[in-house]
Structure 1
């Protein structure tokens, strides 16, 4: 049963359509996943770059803001020393980074301000100097020293920095680092910016020693106060790549769900198809059984009709035959003996072939000849019969009483006289037995065609070759197949 189901399933177009749809959905999901992953990666890279630029810009703005504050103080010094000190005190109250302001010598040339880190055993700060007069050496300058610890605290408390941690280095020395213990220490070789290998203002995926996780790193070198500062922004890769991972997982789950759904639908389809197959098989078996039953009933009906035909032949024909025998006994005793023998052979044949579907043509021909002899005695030679049967056809078969029925049909429905006797010709033609008589229908008898119809039905159960009954050239011709 399973093998038949699988064989039919593999031949089913619906099965291969389902496989094709499943393959297309899987390929489309995979292609869509890669496309979304690529787009997401590009968007994430831009997002990371934007975050890095924003954080570095905030850091830079914080430092440059101190420069602007120093310039404001410088402008205030043009009024009076007292006014300058009052302004410095006011600024110090508002800004923790501007606590150490002093007047120093200006030694630079052609620059509006100076910003340099100071990292030694006694002092770690960023020194910002703004010239009080012109920008030539020998003048005085207003100088601000921002302790790196204070800068670290200010940045740590600043809510503008998000999604990334920053480092600021000067000549490979940490000026700022989230880990305060590293401030003033050399930058690790793995974290140093190398112009030969590192691309500025681009995203590089590296491993962070500080976070112990992969990060997307962004380098930018900025000139401030006559010096070059290296800003580094580090964005944890996990936080942003989680979107790609979730997208990948979503497509995996979608493909898995589609696969499971297809398998479930496929199995349900098999069960439904199996149920329908068994149902159709049951209906087919019932149909076959019904056809067999109908066939059996038809066979029984035909057998009954044949028996009725034999029974009908017995009383009617027997009555006429006995009447003829009575006349012969008194007038032609010797002929009466032959008549009695033929009549005896006739009924012996009927009893012998009672349960046969077909008999040899030889036996049917002998039976019919006895029947013709009896009828010729009855009708006083108004019946003339010519028999021309090929000897090679004698071992072929016909239904019982078939030939006798055709001859009886000729006698029953033909008007005969001594001047116009009934002329019957029996011969074989290929695989057919033909009975032909002159067409002179009797007016006293009406034909229902029942006998020929029953003969046709009997033949339909024995062969596919048809019987033929027709009138041609004033002759009635009956052709029945030889089996």
Structure 2
């Protein structure tokens, strides 16, 4: 009978201490002061535990009058302190793990929001850069009374309508990018005529892969910006695939006086690939050619 009562008292006390410590745990907060070990909460828990254990021990004395209340009381209180300490430390460890998990989730959410904002800024850089270059092209055509000026304006309008439809996407199919490029090359041909030539030999199997919108168009702009483009020195550009890379290659015929570079083009493309694929673009330069190698993004493999 004595063993049964002792076990019952210990069980009731353990149950009380468990739920009391759970109830008094603070809610999650970003404040650092609520994340560490609290001596105040521990002392409060121990004092309340001592009081409850005293009451339970007194109840035990009423049930078992044969027990010497004085000597047994010290043993009961020590047992209560040990139980309370064990439960408190165990719950504290669980709580710390929960707090750390919440902090990690918040950090990941913040990083994701920051990356999303950065990528939106990268996408917004594309259209102003494109508009700036084509306004310069249109200005040159107007100044030289080019007969293709009106057609250029109409095609530019159609092209911009197409770009506005695509800009909301982070990725488009390579086939759509080639369609954008075809329209863009028409605009370039209107200005440079045979001074620029693009040869596209991309393997058709890659047309279903993905690419950030206007990537190739920006690379073509970069070729024009840094190289001579004229009927006497036509700029030859090749577009092909090799070893899971989309390659844009042009022969080097640099301008004598280089234009001021804002470095929007290549850095924009590089940052978009880092964001989307965690890979950088490859740049290879030799005496004769300049190559940009873009990693192929497969829809199902790269999710």
* TM-score, normalisation: structure 1: 0.41
Structure 1 residue aligned with 2:282: 468
Residue 408 of structure 1: how far off its partner (Å): 0.9
Gaps of 5+ in 1: 3-256
Instruction: Name the CA distance, whole Å, in 2 between partners of 1:415 and 1:265.
Output: 84
How far apart are 1:337 and its partner, in Å?
Answer: 6.5
Aligned twin of 2:267: 453
**Separation in 2, partners of 1:292, 1:316:** 37
Please tell me whether Structure 1 or Structure 2 has the larger radius of gyration of its CA atoms: 1
Q: Distance in 2 between matches of 1:457 and 1:271?
A: 49
Is the alpha carbon distance of 1:264 and 1:397 closer, same or farther for their aligned partners in structure 2, counting shifts above 3 Å?
same
Separation of aligned partners in 1, 2:174 and 2:224? 21
The secondary structure found in structure 2 opposite 1:372 is helix
Q: Contact 2:115–2:275 (CA<8 Å) still a contact in 1? A: no
Deviations 1:111-130 (A, max 9, x none): xxxxxxxxxxxxxxxxxxxx
1:427 CA displacement: 0.9
Q: 1:296 to 1:331 in 2, by over 3 A?
A: closer
C-alpha distance in 2 between matches for 1:269 and 1:321: 79
Per-residue deviation, 1:367: 0.9
**Structure 2 partner of 1:295:** 112
2:99 is equivalent to residue 285 of structure 1? no
* Superposition deviation, residue 317 in structure 1: 1.4
Q: Residues of 2 paired with 1:441 and 1:447: CA distance?
A: 14
Q: Which residue of 1 aligns with 2:200?
A: 387
What is residue 357 of structure 1 aligned with on the other side?
A: 170
1:435 CA drift (Å)? 0.3
Deviation for aligned residue 1:323: 5.1
Distance 1:420 1:403 in 2: 22
Could you tell me how far apart the structure 2 residues matched to 1:317 and 1:270 are?
A: 71
Aligned: 1:406 with 2:223: no
Provide the aligned C-alpha RMSD in A: 3.0
Superposed displacement of residue 276, structure 1: 3.5
Higher relative CO (Cα under 8 Å, sequence separation at least 6) belongs to: 2
Per-residue deviation, residues 9-29 of structure 1 (Å, max 9, x unmatched): xxxxxxxxxxxxxxxxxxxxx
Aligned partner of residue 356 in structure 1, secondary structure: coil
CA distance in 2, matches of 1:441, 1:272: 71
SS of aligned partner of 1:433: strand
Query: d(CA) in 2 for partners of 1:269 and 1:394?
Result: 63
Which one of the candidate residues 232, 235, 255 is aligned to 1:419? 232
Does residue 371 of structure 1 match 2:184?
A: yes
Deviation digits for residues 298-335 of structure 1, max 9, x if unmatched?
A: 222221232132123225413523653786xx764xx5
**Offset at 1:414?**
1.7
Question: 1:378 and 1:348 mapped to 2: Cα distance?
Answer: 21
Write out per-residue CA displacement over residues 29-56 of structure 1, whole angstroms, 9 at most, x where no aligned residue: xxxxxxxxxxxxxxxxxxxxxxxxxxxx
CA drift of 1:454 comes to 2.1
1:347 and 1:274 map into 2 onto residues whose CA distance is: 61
- 1:462 aligned counterpart, secondary structure: helix
Q: Aligned partners of 1:282 and 1:272: how far apart in 2?
A: 15
Between the aligned partners of 1:373 and 1:346, the Cα distance in structure 2 is 10
Structure with the largest fraction of strand: 1
Instruction: Tell whether the 8 Å contact from 2:125 to 2:264 is kept in structure 1 after alignment.
Output: no
2:115 and 2:149 map into 1 onto residues whose CA distance is 42
In structure 2, relative to structure 1, the CA distance for the partners of 1:348 and 1:282 (3 Å cut) is same
Distance 1:347 1:264, change over 3 A: same
Which residue is 2:138 aligned to?
321
1:413·1:446 contact (CA, 8 Å) conserved in 2? no
Please give the secondary structure, in 2, of the residue aligned with 1:418: coil
- Confirm or deny: 8 A CA contact 1:302 1:454 kept in the other structure: no
Do 1:321 and 1:374's aligned partners in 2 also have CA atoms closer than 8 Å? no
Contact 2:175 2:208 in 1 (8 A): yes
Give the deviation of 1:476 after TM superposition.
1.0
**Structure 1 residues 265 and 315, CA, compared in 2 at 3 Å: closer, same or farther?**
same
Cα separation, 1, equivalents of 2:204 and 2:218: 22
Distance 1:285 1:375, change over 3 A: same
CA distance in 1, matches of 2:165, 2:119: 18
TM-score between the two structures when normalised by the length of structure 2: 0.62
What is the number of residues matched between the two proteins? 221
Are the counterparts in 2 of residues 325 and 336 from structure 1 also a CA contact under 8 Å? yes
Are the structure 2 counterparts of residues 463 and 477 from structure 1 closer, same or farther at C-alpha, using a change threshold of 3 Å?
Answer: same
